[in-house]
Chain A
Amino acid sequence: MSDKAQMISELKEIVKPYIQDEEAFENLHEDTNFITDLKINSANLIDVILDVEDKYDIELDNDSMDKMLSVKAALEVIKTKISEK
């Protein structure tokens, strides 16, 4: 599995408890939006971010948090933060 595929699969595991659209979740891909596709409650996005921080041992600043609305954006933010470690 490529690094990216690996990360998408990890991210899928992280968002799983919060999703409210099973079909969009099964078909999760890079362009999947957390709120409009997966129907994650916007308050729960905060919890997704905390779970991401725990998983990768990184800390996300407010700007990065605001950006993290899709799988693609999340992957970018995570990669950047990991490279800064």
Chain B
Amino acid sequence: MDKRVVITGLGVVSPNGVGLDNFTEALKNGTSGIEHHEALKELSFSCCIGGIPKVSEGLKRDYFTELQLKNFNSSGILYGCMAGMDAWKDAGLTVTENTDFDSGTIFGTGTSGVEKFREAIYKLDDNKVRRLGSTVVSQTMASGVSAYLAGIIGLGNQVSTNSSACTTGTEAILMGYDRIKAGRAKRMIVGSTSDHGPYLWGGFDAMRVLTYKHNESPETGSRPMSASASGFVPGSGAGAMVIESLESALQRGAKIYAEILGGEVNSGGQRNEGSMTAPNSEAVQRCIKNAVVNSNIEAKDIDAINGHLTATSKDFTEIDNWSKALNLKGSDFPYINSLKSMVGHCLSASGAIESVASVLQIHHNFIFPNINCEDLNEQITALISEYKIPQSVIEQEVNIVAKASFGFGDVNGCIIFKKYKQK
């Protein structure tokens, strides 16, 4: 029989809060983590603002040894391991000398150690391949983050990294969920991370998908669902969860944040209006519908949607897709929010950080506010009631949250979280 899967630990390294307590407070208060970055300006970026978590040299040493930090230059691995280790600890689990064959990780990323890679390329082109040192491979291989994390904790079940652009985090959670549901692991650390900085963000700046209108007012730059949305703001960080079989969680008396009811991942195949960079709406709707169906809920049971909503002209298309998939509109439509208004688009980390935010809403019974959408897009308000897009925190019981992520390559992921109740 399929196992029920619950969330027993959370960890987050977000531009607006590092650690669960700071992040929860920032969520409730609508605190922006977007700042001006001089390095972007000096490199002639159009968009000179972004979201970078605040991790001091001292804090790094709570997670890594001096040896691990020697010649270390991979922000994504740093954030991912911090979030993963925090989630493990939050779940009441400890690190032992022995390999834990019941536990694994699916920890996604888009790139790994892009700055380390840059260092290596400069040395290599200078005929100094022999001077690269021993960690270029481990810091720049895509699976660097899952490899580091598994080594720190001693994970002995599946240890892997998935990559599906901005759907990565949501997909990682669903991959771990599938494995536990099938009885092939007791628990998995699932999540995703993203490097920060110009060498990752440059490609987006070149595509002119980043906003260049808010360099002087960074905190107002990320404006999902706003009429004045003018492109996304790049972010970074990591989110992680410990998910495990219900029986394992009950056996060890673990705190249960929420249950994962189900979900779906699919692709639009870059057909119809779908492309490398744009979603095929039919596939998006199908993904959401299937997630609802295989979670055995009705669309009207959804209290809140945590959207992908990046602050581009596609925000309306996304809400239109939700509305069609759920067959709900106006005041029947669930509350909807976008974490990106506070932290920007954390790219491959977005699905995981936003899922942590979704689960915190269930655990603490609140719906976090959207910021920077005082001027709501009129196409959106013609479709759903304005009050369904909260601009200040709503304290109320939250049972079911639907979270979706969409990524380059026309890939989609949707997951349904529910407050845990014995059935």
Q: Tell me the A residues contacting B by CB distance below 8 Å.
A: 17-18, 43-47, 50, 53
Does B294 touch A at the CB level, under 8 Å?
Answer: no
Per the 8 Å Cβ criterion, residues 38-87 of B in contact with A are: 66-67, 70-71
With most chain A CB atoms within 10 A of its CB, the pick from B66, B133, B134 is B134
Cβ-defined partner of B67 (8 Å) among A18, A45, A46, A50: A18
Query: Residue on A with the closest CB to B67?
Result: A17
Interchain CB contact under 8 A, B131 and A50: yes
Cβ-defined partner of B134 (8 Å) among A17, A44, A53: A44
Interchain CB contact under 8 A, A47 and B66: no
Chain B residues with CB under 8 A of A46? 133-134
Chain B residues with CB under 8 A of A44? 67, 134
Nearest CB on A from B113, distance (A)? 16
Interchain CB contact under 8 A, A47 and B131: no
Chain B residues bordering chain A, tally (CB within 8 A): 8
Chain A residues with CB under 8 A of B71? 47
Nearest CB on A from B132, distance (A)? 9
| Cα separation A44 to B65 with both chains bound (whole Å) | 14
Query: Residue on A with the closest CB to B138?
Result: A43
Chain A residues with CB under 8 A of B134? 43-47
Interchain CB contact under 8 A, A17 and B133: no
Query: Residue on A with the closest CB to B131?
Result: A50
Chain A residues with CB under 8 A of B135? 43, 47
Chain B residues with CB under 8 A of A17? 66-67, 70
Query: Residue on A with the closest CB to B70?
Result: A17
Chain B residues with CB under 8 A of A53? 131
Sorted nearest first, the 9 A-B pairs with minimum C-beta distance are: A43-B134, A46-B134, A47-B134, A47-B133, A17-B67, A17-B70, A44-B134, A17-B66, A50-B133
Query: Residue on A with the closest CB to B66?
Result: A17
| Cα separation A85 to B71 with both chains bound (whole Å) | 28
Nearest CB on B from A16, distance (A)? 9
Listed by A's residue number, 19 A-B pairs whose Cβ atoms lie within 8 Å are A17-B66, A17-B67, A17-B70, A18-B67, A43-B134, A43-B135, A44-B67, A44-B134, A45-B134, A46-B133, A46-B134, A47-B70, A47-B71, A47-B133, A47-B134, A47-B135, A50-B131, A50-B133, A53-B131
Nearest CB on A from B148, distance (A)? 14
Query: Residue on B with the closest CB to A53?
Result: B131
| Cα separation A18 to B69 with both chains bound (whole Å) | 11
| Cα separation A45 to B134 with both chains bound (whole Å) | 8
13 extra interface residue pairs, beta carbon distance < 8 Å, beyond A17-B70, A53-B131:
A17-B66, A17-B67, A18-B67, A43-B134, A44-B67, A44-B134, A46-B134, A47-B70, A47-B71, A47-B133, A47-B134, A50-B131, A50-B133
Chain A residues with CB under 8 A of B133? 46-47, 50
Nearest CB on A from B156, distance (A)? 20
